[in-house]
Amino acid sequence: MPILAYCMTEPAFSPHSPLTGVDGAAVEAIEAGGVRCFYSRVPEESSGTRAQDGALAFHRVLQEVFAQTAILPFRFPTIVEAEPELTAHILEHAVEYRRTLVRLRDLVQMEILIQANPTSRKSEESSGAQYLRKRLAQQKMLETAAEGLRTRVAFLVQGWRQRESKDGLRCFMLLGRGHVSQLRAALSGVQLSPDLGVRVSGPWPATEFVNED
Amino acid sequence: MAASSNQIVFTGTDPNDETSLLDILDHVLNAGVILRGNLVISLAGVDLIYVGLDVILTSVETAMQHMQKKILPPAQKH
């Protein structure tokens, strides 16, 4: 029977109570190579569950486990034919997964999305060159804002990564699990240009920091 | 629930908050370990390759419909 993989944890972890996953399936666990992996069985017949509801059920399992320990989540939906295939994958990467779980053990990821406000994004330029100049100026504004926010929280954050996206500039912060409230408080006092909008979300599993580069 | 200060909006991971819902879906679908270079979903022998958010939401549902058709018993001739 196909199985849906949720996340990996250190082997010592055991959830406080039984977990229920997608389609109401019981979440089970296997241990391989010093890594514990949580999964549930995929019914052979379609239950009629909408894909979005399945994704949210998947998220709830991740959140329940993540509230208790660091996790390496799988992307949804990662489905394999049976337990042996999942075990084989974990064993192949066990050293890397173990090392990452130990390194990220007490750490979480917070995210900042910095966007130019819609009115300032509206383009009234008459030429392509003017449009490009405006885009560059906006990009510079986003990066300057990111630098200011980064400076503001530098005393709390162990890692910072950022990348452009179609939605704006995304910044990822790695910090101690117990410092989330302090981070929100530090960011609350920041004064921003009225041309910018900033959204802070999290805490999330530290997936942006899985690679140490 | 989203709270704001100046132009900064704070969202959590509560799916009941619409802004958080988008973040949640983005995370579960785009962040995390993948088993292969391309994410291959294999459901009852139907292999689908993930190429994007919309495709994966559609493809999983389509695949489940396909699965349902495959397991229905063939009509018996008497």
The sign of the CA dihedral A181, A185, A190, A192 is positive
Q: Do B57 and A198 touch (CB under 8 A)?
A: no
Determine the 3-state secondary structure of A37 from DSSP.
Answer: strand
Tell which wins on pLDDT, A121 or A52: A52
Q: Using alpha carbons, select from A61, A54, A77 the residue that is nearest to residue A26.
A: A61
Model confidence, pTM? 0.79
Q: What is the pLDDT of residue A207?
A: 94
Q: How close B74 comes to chain A (CA, Å)?
A: 16
Give residue-wise pLDDT tens across range A28-62: 999 999 999 999 998 766 566 677 888 999 999 99
Q: What is the percentage of chain B residues whose pLDDT exceeds 90?
A: 0
Q: Average pLDDT in the B54-58 region? A: 41
Element (H, E) at A160: strand A157-165
Instruction: Please check the confidence at residue B34 and state whether its pLDDT lies above 80.
Output: no
Q: What is the pLDDT of residue B38?
A: 41
Residue A160 CA, distance from chain mean position:
14
Q: What is the pLDDT of residue A70?
A: 96
Q: What is the pLDDT of residue A203?
A: 94
Window 41-60 of A: residues touching B by CB (8 A cutoff) are: 42, 44-46, 50-52, 54-56, 58-59
- Mean pLDDT is lowest, of A46-50, A109-113, A140-144, B9-13, for A46-50
Q: Do A80 and B42 touch (CB under 8 A)?
A: yes
Window 112-171 of A: residues touching B by CB (8 A cutoff) are: 117
Residue whose pair of structure tokens reads 């419909």 in the numeric block: B65
User: Which of B14, B29, B33, B71 is the best mutation test for A, with the most CBs of A within 10 A?
Assistant: B33
Q: How far apart are CA A126 and CA A19, in angstroms?
A: 58
Tell which wins on pLDDT, A129 or A48: A129
Q: How many CA atoms lie within 13 A of A190 on its CB side?
A: 28
Residue B16 CA, distance from chain mean position:
18
pLDDT band at A5 (very low <50, low <70, confident <90, very high): very high
Q: How far apart are CA A57 and CA A107, in angstroms?
A: 24
pLDDT band at B50 (very low <50, low <70, confident <90, very high): very low
Q: Average pLDDT in the A129-149 region? A: 91
Residue A161 in tokens = 């990564």
Q: How close A130 comes to chain B (CA, Å)?
A: 28
Instruction: Please check the confidence at residue B57 and state whether its pLDDT lies above 80.
Output: no
Q: Do B31 and A204 touch (CB under 8 A)?
A: yes
Q: How far apart are CA A182 and CA A184, in angstroms?
A: 5
Give residue-wise pLDDT tens across range B10-30: 887 676 777 788 888 888 888
- Mean pLDDT is lowest, of A118-127, A161-170, B23-32, B66-75, for B66-75
ipTM of the complex: 0.82
